[in-house]
Chains A and B, each alone.
Chain A
């Protein structure tokens, strides 16, 4: 009974949950009028962008981002540049769709 608590993730230890942290910190909390106004992109978009720019795999793993591990394209040693390229293209397309969707939502 007493160790139930130990089985859960304390937010302090969950560097892995990028979306959790971004969503909570960037979207939630008390909003009071500050003197500086800044527009933040939608968290979904931010998360995808951040994952896109993660340059080194090791660095990403440190941050707990390892979603490609189950992806045969990445786990196979025989990654060809063109395959990577295609994936990037897909992701960019996805990003563009997201941007469009969020823009039209904002209208």
Chain B
């Protein structure tokens, strides 16, 4: 069986490990993800314009940026779903495009804007995904039952995914991504359109997962969320990385990540000025 790592160790990467450069340097772990000179162009539009990224292992990492910044395109290329025009991506020291066997068994993915096999029930979807990953049937069923329980989906496990709400879809997608116990989890907008109760559940599961030493990379444009969840942040705008580092490093002297972000993407000074000076209830001008 090609992809059967469910013991979750990080050992295979050790021989070629090079020390982390920007991750604070408290432990000698190889970076979970290393991206260099990544490019993608769609027609005339350059979606990703030469990205270099080094994401430390064992962290909760946020990839933030406004809509259209290239977050989804980047995550798709990092997870092997979209072929880059140029550049390399390594996960745990393995090249995503040259060594898919090593990479695909180590990562879990929850993409945004792509369907699931929606005509399966939640439980069938997990059974399908786990067995396709090469896990033994009994183990898949055991893990699926636990995940469904923890993610509060047990009551809907026999309903078709097509009849699930947005929050339930995100949760079943997360369960499918976690089933093979990956080392790195990539989540594209996991909280988008999710109700507060489901969001809290997802959050709890992710925090438990990173506490065990695994890495979570997720994209979002909600700064407050990133600030409260992540210990490492990469800021993206117009296809480029504007800043990366620990939350404190990226925030710098700004009062919040939101303000630091607005400064980084150059939207801070853009206040309304005098253009809307007529606006204001009651003042007849």
- A is bound by B: no
Binding site for B on A (CB under 8 A): none
